[in-house]
Chain A
Amino acid sequence: MSITAMTSKEVTLKIFNREKLFILDVRNEGDFQDWKIEGENFTHLNVPYFDLLDGVEGILDQIPGDEEILVVCAKEGSSIFVAEMLSEKGLNVSYLQGGMKTWSEHLEPVKVGDLQDGGEIYQFVRIGKGCLSYMAISNGEAAIIDSTRMTEVYTDFAKKMGATIKHVFDTHLHADHISGGRTIAEQTGATYWLPPKDAEEVTFSYSRLEEGNDVWIGHTKIAIQPVYSPGHTIGSTSFVIDDRYLLTGDILFIDSIGRPDLAGKAEDWVVDLRETLYKRYQELSDELIVLPAHFMIVEELNENGSVSEKLGALYARNHGLNIENEADFRKAVTENLPPQPNAYEEIRETNMGKINPDIEKQREMEIGPNRCAVR
């Protein structure tokens, strides 16, 4: 039997299509428990490769004979090593090309809807980390929101769509991933917008993203209206695009809400977060389609792999929007929080331009799940 490489894209489509997959993850137990590939119909077995150096005989009875099998490791070397041994035992197996390192970087563009003038809005699903970024295209002009550091994916996509990138936004200073916003702006001549309250310490020039200053793309003027919505950071700003889509950044997710502690100011920002979720967003139309900057669990994915829901539906269902008592709310968002994202302080400094780690270091800083939410 021979072994084959499975790409991150193929695995992503299996998640979107709710297919079955048996994953033998050969990373060490700690890394596996911290972060793994999840799909609704995926099953897992974690046995570190170093426990299989003398052979795979000991685990054969735990591997199903009638399912597709994928061996996964950090960078691919160990998964090939283990896959080859399984193949010698007569099993048909694949390994994840590039390992979790490549998985962490894979972006899958999914169309989330049309704009009124014929334009379109796309969501870029970073399936391995749960990060979501966006591109709105209208009449040959594009705007990008919350881009990751894999900037070529966006610039290539815009090119394919025949659009010129005019505006690049970050809804806030990110702590879980390195922003590609500044790089894209530099490469394309686009304007880079940041909320000034999050940008006090940045080392580069930017345009001030403030409520009331609408930005337009396309000839028929698609409005991108900033809505000041502090709470995850003091500057956090949402966007209403084309009067239909509400991009909530890290303030509101489908099944959870933003956490206020990643800049060390949980106590200060709880009040802002409450105000944004229970007052400012309440005043917006229930019909707005919420497009968040993250998802946490695969159950949040829609049929086509996108992540979105009407604001009204979230007010009905999202636990974080239904905590009547203010003291209970404070407790929910400041106590028993999940661990902070890997290297979040260094990531913030990188996004401020204070440090310039090389690409290997950036990959290492971003490894793992995003953990920006409170459920």
Chain B
Amino acid sequence: MEPIKTNMLVDAKGLACPMPIVRTKKAMNELEPGKVIEVHATDKGSRADIQAWAKSSGHQYLGTIEEGEVLKHYLRKSSGEEKEEIKHPHVIDNEELTKKINNQENILLLDVREAAEYAFNHIPGAKSIPLGELDEKMAEFEKSETIYVVCRTGNRSDLAAQKLTSNGFENVINVMPGMSNWSGPVDSNK
């Protein structure tokens, strides 16, 4: 299993509650919005508490991986992206995309969320290119290809779609709203 790429690591191994969350909260303050933090803890209660804390503080809980005694929790700092306005004109809703997937249409689907978000939950066959890496990786695709772009709520994929379009890609379609409301098939690397 490949390690999940994250932006910051909090080592709370051997610490009893409340310390894992005290440390996580402190680290969150230093993290940029939208970035991913990884918390290693051995306190079993941290699994439920970190989820509840994320919910009450507006951060996004991605998942937990258990490796022996160590629980690795993944969280994404809240980014306030919900408020932004969608600008890219070509969109498809979740239901229409699900139909295309169920019909086994051969589509190119880019998932522009952070690698850790993708790792826990993604549409089968989607290609993971976090928004921050799109500039360097967009050369992998043909400009005439139809590209579907998905994220969690449609905002990052909107930015990605605008970026691709301004770089000469002709058929870019934003999936709305995306994974936050996705009921179609999913895969997980975990």
A75 contacts B25, C-beta separation under 8 Å:
no
Whether B52 lies near A50 (C-beta < 8 A) is yes
Contacts of B190 in A (CB 8 A): none
Q: A48-B53, A50-B53, A50-B56 are in contact. Are A28 and B48 (CB under 8 A)?
A: yes
B139 within 8 A of A: no
Q: B44: which A residues are within 8 A, CB to CB?
A: 364
Q: Which residues of A contact B18 (CB under 8 A)?
A: 49-50, 53, 77-78, 81
The complex places the Cα of A364 from the Cα of B44 at a distance, in Å, of 9
Cα–Cα distance between A210 and B102 once the two chains are bound (Å): 60
Q: Among residues 53 to 68 in chain B, which have CB atoms less than 8 Å away from a CB atom of chain A?
A: 53, 56-57
Count how many pairs of residues, one from A and one from B, have CB atoms less than 8 Å apart in the complex. Answer: 43
Q: Are B16 and A48 in contact (CB under 8 A)?
A: no
Classify the interface of chain A: helix, strand, loop or mixed: helix
A58 interface hit (Cβ, 8 Å): no
Contact A49–B52 (Cβ < 8 Å)? no
Are B52 and A30 in contact, with the CB atoms below 8 A? Answer: yes
Dominant secondary structure at the B interface: helix
B18-33 residues at the A interface, CB under 8 angstroms: 18-19, 21-22, 25
- Assess whether B52 is in contact with A29, with CB atoms less than 8 Å apart: yes
Instruction: Determine if A75 and B52 form an interchain contact, defined as CB atoms under 8 angstroms apart.
Output: no
- Decide if A105 is an interface residue (CB 8 Å cutoff): no
Q: What class of interface size applies to chain B in its complex with A?
A: 10 to 19
| B81 adjacent to chain A (CB < 8 Å) | no
- In the assembled complex, which residues on chain B have CB atoms less than 8 Å from the CB atom of A49? 17-18, 21
Residue A31 is within 8 A (CB to CB) of chain B in the complex: yes
The reply to whether B17 and A73 form a contact with Cβ atoms under 8 Å apart is yes
Q: With A48-B56, A50-B53, A51-B56 in contact, do A31 and B48 touch (Cβ < 8 Å)? A: yes
Whether B25 and A53, one on each chain, are in contact in the complex, defined by CB atoms closer than 8 angstroms, is: yes
A131 at the interface (CB under 8 A from B): no
Q: How many residues of A contact B (CB 8 A)?
A: 16
The residues of B that contact A364 with a CB separation of less than 8 Å are 44
| Residues from chain B with Cβ under 8 Å of A53 in the complex | 18, 21-22, 25
Partner of A30, one of B16, B17, B48, B53: B48
Q: In the assembly, what is the distance between CA of A49 and CA of B22, in Å?
A: 10
Q: Judge whether B45 is part of the interface by a CB distance below 8 angstroms.
A: yes
Give a binary string over B1-43; 1 marks a CB under 8 Å from any A CB, 0 the rest.
0000000000000001111011001000000000000000000
Determine whether A277 belongs to the interface, using a CB cutoff of 8 Å to chain B: no
B21: chain A residues at CB < 8 Å are: 49-50, 53
Complex: A30 Cα to B53 Cα, angstroms: 12
New A-B contacts (8) at CB < 8 Å, excluding given A50-B21, A75-B16, A78-B18? A48-B49, A49-B17, A51-B53, A51-B56, A53-B25, A74-B45, A75-B17, A77-B17
| 5 closest cross-chain pairs (CB), A and B | A28-B52, A50-B53, A78-B18, A77-B16, A50-B21
Residues of A within 8 A of B (CB): 28-31, 48-51, 53, 73-75, 77-78, 81, 364
27 A-B residue pairings within 8 Å (CB atoms) = A28-B48, A28-B49, A28-B52, A28-B53, A29-B52, A30-B48, A30-B52, A31-B48, A48-B49, A48-B53, A48-B56, A50-B18, A50-B49, A50-B52, A50-B56, A51-B56, A53-B18, A53-B21, A53-B22, A53-B25, A74-B45, A75-B16, A75-B45, A77-B16, A77-B17, A77-B18, A364-B44
